[in-house]
Copies of this chain bind each other. A is one copy, B any other.
Amino acid sequence: MEKTILIFGALILAILVLFKLSNYAIYKGDLSIELAIGVMAIVFFFIGLFINKRLNNRKSQESIEIDEQKIEELQISSREYEVLCEIAKGASNKEIADTLFVSESTIKTHVSKLFLKLDAKRRTQAIKIAKDLNIIPEL
């Protein structure tokens, strides 16, 4: 909301400035009315495009961003997080163990901890919850 006011404030200011410039040019006989109006219109058209593009870029970046704060809140350790990401990739316990150079028993331990922290009963549920919390990459 604040941003909207700022944008329109800047817009009105720009209109006033361009008014003065266009009036000056018309009185000097350098510009016709049509040209002044046309230039103004096109300038503001592109201002509209530019502002909207900026807002939309910000939006799509936000949705991709991982919620590091949430990970902290849940007290998920880095190793547990690694295991979570591997689970979300569809790997089995054995595969994850091989990937991370530990035993399957260790993976089971991490998984159990993850379930506690995410309040999940099975890995598919843990993936869903993690996705909803934006704590794992969309990849």
Interface, chain A (partner B; CB < 8 A): 11, 15, 18-19, 22-23, 26, 33-34, 36-38, 40-49, 51-53, 56, 60, 87-92, 120-129
Q: Is the CB of B15 within 8 A of A23?
A: no
How many copies make up the complex? 2
Closest B residue, CB atoms, query A126: B90
A-B contact pairs, 21 of them (CB 8 A): A11-B45, A15-B42, A19-B37, A19-B38, A23-B33, A23-B34, A33-B36, A40-B40, A40-B41, A41-B44, A42-B44, A45-B45, A48-B48, A49-B49, A49-B52, A89-B124, A90-B124, A91-B125, A92-B122, A123-B124, A124-B127
Q: How far is the CB of A108 from the nearest CB of chain B, in Å?
A: 15
- Write out the residue numbers on chain B whose beta carbons fall within 8 Å of the beta carbon of A53: 52
Q: Is the CB of A88 within 8 A of B128?
A: yes
- Write out the residue numbers on chain B whose beta carbons fall within 8 Å of the beta carbon of A26: 33
- Write out the residue numbers on chain B whose beta carbons fall within 8 Å of the beta carbon of A22: 33, 37
